[in-house]
Amino acid sequence: MSRFQRVIESNERLFWTLHSAGWAGFALIYYIGSFLHDVRPIWVFIIMLNAYAGWLLTIPLRYVYRWARKRSVLNMILIVVASCYVVALVWAVVKNINYWEIYKHGYRPDEWYMYFTNTINSLIMVGCWSGVYFGIKNFQMLQKEKQNALKASTMAHQAHIKMLRYQLNPHFLFNTLNAISTLILLKENDTAEAMVSKLSNFLRYSLDNDPIKRVPLGQEIKALRLYLEIEKVRFDDRLEVVWDIDSKCESALVPSMILQPIIENAIKHAISKMENGGQIAITARTFGNDLLMDVADNGPGADIKEGQLSRKNGVGLVNIKERLQSLYQRNFAFSIEHNQPSGVRVRIRIPYEVKDV
């Protein structure tokens, strides 16, 4: 069964449930009101007949109103008013006949217009039924529009996150392919082949993981080790990596590929600038209900103003902050600081969450 069919069936059940419950409520209130008068027990039967007549006569209004809603506002109002009046008129006649035939034992009025007495009361009831019908329909329409707007916003939000994630791949690919090209020119084919294999595995991980979803930090660390193995082919002993990952953090959920741009940034602006190479320290630990992650280098440092780098044309760190903001709104922290005694330290704080089993 399609979603459209399920929605139709749900609307059908809702209409018949509310329609029947409404007229049952009318009969109950009518019956309670009869206690104010000295009426015979047969009056209960008349109440049931009148409620059933109202139940039957208002059913066609549903289809008339459905058709009227497609017309202009003025035409819809005219159709609704005319339909309410006609149904109220017929219902008033039915109620009078029930009263005269059953309670008055076949009484006949002297004038024909007496059949239409109490039409105003009937019109009020039919008007209330119509008001509830349009109120529910408008509420459903607003809810549907809200859901459509939310769905569109979610799709745009997800597309934005994917754009941010995949924006980084070309930059990394350029550096790696350039290194592979250099290795081939130097006739270091075995090293180039190993680098291609590692690049293939890393890109497979990168593309297989949906940027919208989060992955365990332990899985992310494996991908980072693979990435750093690729970079070590370029820098050899000039690149030293220190890992300090709390075992409790490995199951924590993090945005996929969230640390790789930071490490890439450190390699580009710190390790590659140092004649003898340098060190990158990657740390992860928990603090209360938060997960704290640090990436620090011992490079020459950078000009940091108000927690932001002054470098131009860089997309990596700005990209990360936008991703974190999209995923966690205000429940995160992202800062760039001077490392001691030298270098840059990037800190990330996000909620500590693990995958439900």
Note whether residue 252 is domain-resident. Answer: yes
> How many helices and strands (H and E) does the chain possess?
9, 9
Please check whether residues 336 and 235 belong to one and the same domain.
yes
Q: To which residue do tokens 């930090």 refer? A: 217
With H, G, I as helix, E, B as strand and everything else as coil, classify residue 187.
Answer: coil
- pLDDT of residue 313 exceeding 50, the answer is no
What is the rounded average pLDDT of the residues 231-237? 78
What is the DSSP code string of 131-177? HHHHHHHHHHHHHHHHHHHHHHHHHHHHHHHHHHHHTSHHHHHHHHH
Is the same domain home to 183 and 309? yes
- Retrieve residue 288's tokens: 């209360």
List phi, psi (to 5°) of 271. -60, -45
Residue 8 lies in a domain: yes
Which two structure tokens, joined as six digits, stand for 345? Answer: 């330290």
Q: How far apart are CA 274 and CA 281, in angstroms?
A: 16
Residue 356, in any domain of the structure: no
* Average pLDDT score over the chain: 83
Is 357 a member of any domain?
no
Indicate whether 14 and 115 sit together in one domain.
yes
From 164, 182, 198, the end of a domain falls on 164
| Residue at 146 is within a domain | yes
Strands (DSSP E) found in 43-94: none
Tokens 């980072």 found at:
224
Residues 45 and 143 in one domain: yes
Q: Do 248 and 183 share a structural domain?
A: yes
Over residues 74-86, the mean pLDDT reads: 93
In the predicted model, is pLDDT for residue 333 greater than 90?
yes
Do residues 350 and 290 make contact, with C-beta atoms less than 8 angstroms apart?
yes
- Quickly state the pLDDT bin for 111 (edges 50, 70, 90): confident
Q: Are residues 253 and 147 part of one domain?
A: no
* pLDDT > 90? residue 293: yes
Residue with tokens 């209004």: 61
Q: In the sheet that 333-338 helps form, which strands lie side by side, from edge to edge?
A: 239-245, 278-287, 290-297, 344-351, 333-338
Q: Do the domain assignments include residue 211?
A: yes
Give the residue from 126, 145, 164 where a domain finishes: 164
Q: Answer with the one of 146, 164, 182 that is the final residue of a domain.
A: 164
Q: What is the pLDDT of residues 124-160, one digit of tens each?
A: 999 999 999 999 988 888 888 887 767 656 655 655 5
One domain for residues 240 and 283: yes
Give yes or no: residues 188 and 133 share one domain. Answer: no
Backbone φ/ψ region at 329: left (φ over 0), alpha (ψ -120 to 50), beta: left
Looking at the fold, whether 157 and 223 belong to one and the same domain comes out as no
Give the chain's domain count.
2
pLDDT at 106 over 60: yes
Q: Within a domain: residue 342?
A: yes
Is residue 245 located within the same domain as residue 140?
no
Whether 72 shows a pLDDT value over 60: the answer reads yes
Q: Is residue 242 part of a domain?
A: yes
Average pLDDT over residues 20-33: 88
**Which range has highest mean pLDDT (109-123, 152-166, 178-192, 284-298)?**
284-298
Range(s) of the domain holding residue 231? 170-351
How many angstroms separate the CA atoms of 151 and 147, rounded? 6
CATH number at residue 316: 3.30.565.10
Residues 174, 160 share a domain: no
Instruction: Give first-to-last CA distance, the chain, whole Å.
Output: 30
Both 138 and 16 in a single domain?
A: yes
Predicted pLDDT at 217: 93
